[in-house]
């Protein structure tokens, strides 16, 4: 890898995101739309693939997506989506992922790094840059919702698109207490 550059997503970055995500839309036709879709089940199955691609491209062009892109030269090699928690309808509706918070909460909801770029520290850089972007844009706190590996096992990258605890810990996030038996929430406050 040459020098890696990270920067916020721009309105004209749709083609770069398409190049990065590839024909499968990063994972199974998701196109980083999972948290934005109100209903799932059959409704989710109906929009996977091309409908999600079109929806994400329209949101990017309208300036309604906050994310960080990583580049190796001119080639996009990583993505981390972050935004105000209420802007992700599924997340805003989830009782399991709510907690008391002071101020504006932003959420890191998606990381995508192609297989050939993994295990080189890029995830850490993306999460750090996404949190910094959120704080610059007014977040009081940034949350993440990592997948916890089962004891003695690792999480398949296919299912680790929200990160793993060690990633958030390396970026200075703390696990919220009192979440035993539920999906963890990791948080970082402005100034931490």
Q: Give the per-residue SS3 of the chain.
A: CCCEEEEECCCCCHHHHHHHHCCCCCCCCCCCCHHHCCCCCHHHHHHCCHHHHHHHHHHHHCCCCCEEEEEECCEEEEEEEEEEHHHCHHHHHCHHHCCCCCCCEEEEEEEECCHHHCCCCHHHHHHHHHHHHHHHCCCCEEEECCCCCCCCCCCCHHHCCCCCHHHHHHCCCEECCCCCCCCCCEEEECCC
pLDDT (average), residues 50-79? 96
Instruction: State the pLDDT at residue 156.
Output: 73
Q: What is the pTM of this model?
A: 0.92
Would the pLDDT of 142 be above 60?
Answer: yes
Whether pLDDT at 1 is above 60: no
Structure token pair of residue 84: 């105000």
User: Is the confidence at residue 40, as pLDDT, over 80?
Assistant: no
Specify the pLDDT at position 3. 85
CB 142 within 8 A of CB 168: no
What tokens were used for 48?
A: 């996977």
Question: Residue 2: its pLDDT value, please?
Answer: 62
Mean pLDDT in residue range 9-33: 94
Tens digits of per-residue pLDDT, 68-120? 999 999 999 999 999 999 999 988 888 888 887 767 999 999 999 998 888 88
Tokens of 85: 């928690």
CATH topology of domain 4-11+66-189: Aminopeptidase (3.40.630)
Tell me the average pLDDT of the chain. Answer: 91
More confident residue, 122 or 92: 122
Identify the pLDDT of residue 85.
94
User: Which two three-digit tokens encode residue 1?
Assistant: 């890898």
Greater model confidence, 60 or 155: 60
């Amino acid at each position: 890898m040459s020098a890696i550059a990270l920067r916020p997503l721009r309105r004209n970055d749709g083609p770069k995101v398409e190049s990065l995500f590839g024909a499968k839309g990063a994972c199974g036709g998701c196109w980083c739309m999972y948290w934005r879709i109100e209903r799932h089940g059959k409704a989710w199955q109906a929009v996977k693939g091309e409908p999600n691609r079109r929806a994400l491209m329209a949101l990017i062009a309208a300036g309604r997506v906050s994310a960080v892109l990583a580049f190796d030269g001119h080639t996009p090699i990583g993505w981390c989506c972050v935004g105000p928690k209420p802007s992700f309808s599924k997340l805003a509706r989830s009782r399991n992922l709510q907690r008391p918070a002071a101020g504006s909460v932003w959420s890191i909801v998606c990381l995508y790094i192609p297989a050939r770029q993994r295990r080189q520290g890029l995830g850490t850089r993306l999460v750090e840059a996404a949190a910094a972007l959120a704080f610059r844009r007014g977040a009081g706190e940034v949350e993440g919702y990592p997948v916890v590996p089962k004891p003695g096992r690792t999480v398949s990258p296919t299912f680790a698109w929200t990160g793993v605890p060690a990633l958030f810990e390396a970026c200075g996030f703390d696990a919220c207490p009192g979440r035993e038996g539920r999906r963890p929430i990791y948080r970082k406050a402005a100034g931490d």
